[in-house]
Amino acid sequence: MKTACLLLTLALLAPLASARQEAPVARRGYEATALVAESLEVPFLRWGDAIMVENVMINGKGPYRFVLDTGAEGAGRIDQAVIDALALPAAGSGRTRHIIGEEREVVTRRLDTLSIGALSFSNVTLIGGDYDARMRSPGLGPVHGILGYHLFSEYLLTIDYPGRMIRVAKGALPEPDGKSVLAIVSDDEDPEVEVTIGGQSAKALLDTGAQTMLALPSAFAKQVKFSGELEPMGRERPAKVHRGTLDGAVRLGEIEIDDPATVVSETLVQPVVGVRSLALLAVTYDQKNGRVRVVRPAARPRFGIEFGWTGARPYRFSGVTDNGAAAAAGLRATDRIISINGQAFETIDRESMLRLQDLATMTLVVEREGAEMVLRLSPR
């Protein structure tokens, strides 16, 4: 099955894109690759729900920022601004067919090299388009492209969501055991595995580009139960997209995800396990041997500070979590935060806030009852 551009948001089926292409675009999308080490670790930024890799080099230029999307077939996508800046030549053309049935013409571009640290690819073909305009969210920086699933076909690709780390390594996963190692069951070598959804067996796509916990075709949704009535999404009536909460669990091997928030679409052609479910897990893809490993790692240490964001600066400090680092350091919900790591709190934008969550330490200057005090935090 060839599918493209799936992004399920609370607004509707929007175009951040798990994209899949039809011929003549090559699925692997490159001529040669090399990893000058046994493995490579790349920290990533949780860019909203997406996975942002910030050290991608194109023809030796950059760094550029690419979203990693396991629902994106082939080598990936590249934004028009980068195409113009680097004068990337056209490589061919083709058609894409979305997972929701829509088709469109595409033009591919040729890159001499694409590299991420010690990992490099040569003679790479990417689909060109205005991806920054489609994908950028308020308060976040630019998107220069998408790294597709098949770009990593020669390696083990691990996305450790709680650890916010991507690992690329040589080697192979062990044989599927139905517990932590599952067989890829797609005829097209896409990351589709056998799952159970509300007690019903299904083949589901593991898609980091789908910004939901679970997405179901309407026909499949009739086979499972939901907690309450499904709510229509968008302005179209009668609605083709609804949302609700599954009354049951999604099971991937030994892992169960209880009562996931679910999007139901009349035009979706297969169940999708989205990034908000995968964010609980560390997932390793072994494309050469048709295997996926899913494990639930230990929870990531956190600072335990709650912030609210309404779409514009400033952020709102809304409290502290029980037994967290901030509570242990003495931060109170009634304090006024003046600065974080030397930056005035009212100047912190959305992307800066995302980066603060990955720091090893945090220094707060707060005002309490008219007096300033300094609090130093380490995540726990």
pLDDT at res. 112:
98
How confident is the model over 123-151, as pLDDT tens digits?
Answer: 999 999 999 998 887 667 899 999 999 99
Kindly tell me if the per-residue pLDDT of 20 is higher than 50.
no
Q: Domains, the chain, ranges and CATH?
A: 30-169 (2.40.70.10), 181-295 (2.40.70.10), 305-377 (2.30.42.10)
Residues of the chain above pLDDT 70, percent: 88
pLDDT at res. 302:
82
CA distance 240 to 242: 7
Q: Is 264 left (phi over 0), alpha (psi -120 to 50) or beta?
A: beta
CA distance 82 to 277: 32
Q: What is the mean pLDDT of the chain?
A: 86
Please tell me the pTM assigned to this model.
0.81
Residues of the chain above pLDDT 90, percent: 59
Block residue for tokens 């179901």: 216
Residue 341 contacts residue 328 (beta carbons within 8 Å): no
Q: Is the C-alpha dihedral spanning 135, 138, 141, 142 positive or negative?
A: positive
Q: Is 87 left (phi over 0), alpha (psi -120 to 50) or beta?
A: left
pLDDT at res. 314:
66
CA distance 267 to 371: 58
List, in sequence order, every residue forming a beta bridge with 245; answer none if it has no partner.
261
Q: Of 16-25, 74-83, 113-122, where does mean pLDDT reach its minimum?
A: 16-25
pLDDT at res. 16:
35
Kindly tell me if the per-residue pLDDT of 18 is higher than 70.
no
What the block records as the tokens of 342 is 């030397």
Helices (H), 201-249: 218-221
Q: Closest Cα to residue 111, out of 189, 183, 166, 30? A: 30
How confident is the model over 196-221, as pLDDT tens digits?
Answer: 999 999 999 999 988 899 999 999 99
pLDDT at res. 74:
81
Kindly tell me if the per-residue pLDDT of 175 is higher than 60.
yes
pLDDT at res. 351:
73
Kindly tell me if the per-residue pLDDT of 264 is higher than 70.
yes
What is the pLDDT confidence band of residue 311, given thresholds at 50, 70 and 90? low
Return phi, psi of residue 157, to 5°. -110, 115
Block residue for tokens 């040569």: 122
Helices (H), the chain: 80-86, 131-135, 218-221, 275-278, 325-329, 350-356
| pLDDT: which is higher, 11 or 49 | 49
pLDDT at res. 373:
94
List, in sequence order, every residue forming a beta bridge with 275; answer none if it has no partner.
none
Q: Is 33 left (phi over 0), alpha (psi -120 to 50) or beta?
A: beta
| pLDDT: which is higher, 49 or 33 | 33
